[in-house]
Amino acid sequence: MLASLALILACSQGLPSDSAVRAILAPRVAAFPDSGKHGAGIVVGLLDANGKRRIVAAGVDAGAVFEIGSITKVFTASVLSDMVARGEVKLDDPVANYLPRAVHMPVRGRPISLLDLATQVSGLPRLPDNLAPRDPSNPYADYSVRQLYEFLSRYQLPRDPGASYEYSNLGMGLLGHALALRARMSYEQLVARRLLTPLGMRETAITLTPPLRARLAPGHDEAGNVAPNWDLPTLAGAGALRSTASDMLAFLAANVDTSATPIGRALRQTHDPRQATDNPNLKVGLAWHILSRPSGNIVWHNGGTGGYRTFIGFDPVRRIGVVVLSNFNRSVDDLGYHLLDESFPLEPPPERHAEVAVDSLVLARYVGDYELAPTFHIVITREAMHLFLQATAQPRFPIFEESDSTFFLTVVDAQITFRPDGLVLHQNGQHIPGRKLH
């Protein structure tokens, strides 16, 4: 009886008031480095159970345009579902069917299917190994279709497609590319025709109109500096879209109430759990991640580019949803979860660290490749008087000196201690040593 009552209470919990959201946002935005100088902030969109839409902003205009990063993947998967509903493709079609014949897709056991890409079980890595950007601050901008095809034609899968979950920007970018080829139009045109126009989303695009560009909130890196925008011409399906809270609420509403739109059936099909992950409570639909809880599932995805972090999520039972858009490169996932269910804790503000000057000879000693596990390395590089850290299959971030041997990151709450034989990564209460290889 008590368990049933707890479930009823959890299901009846609504979204917080605007004033309560502002109270959460204010100290968070105030903690951003150089807060208030360049317009770094957060916009929250709330979809109540009665269908009412609300927007609360702090530090940035409520109508600002943001890069939504990997939330784009949900749009890509929704296009796939729509094309399946129209009989244009099948989920189990080999991806190779929609690529030029000269491209030799890697095969192991069976071909990689469209479904494998959409559920992150293709066996393809997070990023291709020939992604070598001329400008690391805009890492996908010069990655070409030719390079994509070259990588696919020589890559050997480490396991069979469908064997296990591994999040892949490459895989979802390839899915968007293949669907665009099938539809004989650009990825941007395809998303606009199949999703944006039917849903009345006039503020979502890759190529911004002059009015939308004027409303683009400048992104900020983990140190609070204005960051370049990202361009993803070849892998657009992985993260190229830009949008507003108002438009993202329209997309959220269409997913929560799929009866209210002609593409509702296609959207509904993306929510079904299809693939397990290494978290027993987390499954994958078509791009969406589904977190199972006693009080009901949360269907969600997040996103991040060089200067932005985003979250979208909804509870299909309580018919509520949340969008969080930030133009500062610090995760907002905890905020999204907490707004949907206050039992999810908010992350405490990162510990304040003071940067000090360190001799260049000391910095030079720390440059190298450090192995924390056979498949996880941290590479430390140096530019002038600054060190940068890049973990396996992740972007490169600056690290800041706190002493001759201790450094800290600002994009996440993590620190590095250098030792004569290697380093130690301090994060989430763990202290993980890594030995220096060279």
Averaged pLDDT score across all residues of the chain: 92
> Cα-Cα-Cα-Cα dihedral of 167, 374, 305, 115, to 10°?
-10
Task: Note the pLDDT tens digit of each residue in 294-307.
Answer: 888 999 999 999 99
Q: Which helix (H) or strand (E) holds 298?
A: strand 298-304
The reported pLDDT for the residue numbered 332 is 97
**Arithmetic mean of pLDDT, 46-55:** 97
Write down the domain spans for the chain. 66-340, 360-436
Is residue 9 predicted with pLDDT exceeding 60?
A: no
DSSP line for 21-70: HHHHHHHHHHTSTTTTTS---EEEEEE-TTS-EEEEEESS-TT-BEE-GG
**Arithmetic mean of pLDDT, 222-247:** 95
pTM given for the model: 0.83
Least Cα distance to 159 among 110, 117, 123, 115 occurs for: 123
User: Measuring CA to CA, how many Å separate 386 from each of 16, 92, 366, 389, 400?
Assistant: 42, 48, 11, 10, 8
The reported pLDDT for the residue numbered 13 is 65
Is residue 438 predicted with pLDDT exceeding 90?
A: no
The reported pLDDT for the residue numbered 385 is 85
Is residue 36 predicted with pLDDT exceeding 70?
A: no
Q: Which CATH architecture has domain 360-436?
A: Beta Barrel (2.40)
How far apart, in whole angstroms, are the C-alpha atoms of residue 211 and residue 416?
A: 43
The reported pLDDT for the residue numbered 374 is 87
* pLDDT interval class at 320 (50, 70, 90): very high
Cα Rg of the chain (Å, integer): 22
Given this structure, which CATH class describes domain 66-340? alpha beta
**In one letter, which amino acid is 273?**
P
Is residue 106 predicted with pLDDT exceeding 50?
A: yes
* Three-state DSSP state, 414: strand
How many Cα atoms sit within 13 Å of 180 on the Cβ side?
22
Question: And the tokens for 377?
Answer: 């390395």
| DSSP E strand boundaries for 211-288 | 242-243, 275-276, 282-284
3-state helix, strand, coil in the chain (%, to 5): 30, 25, 45
DSSP line for 78-113: HHHHHHHHTTS--TTSBGGGGS-TT----EESEEPB
**Arithmetic mean of pLDDT, 399-405:** 90
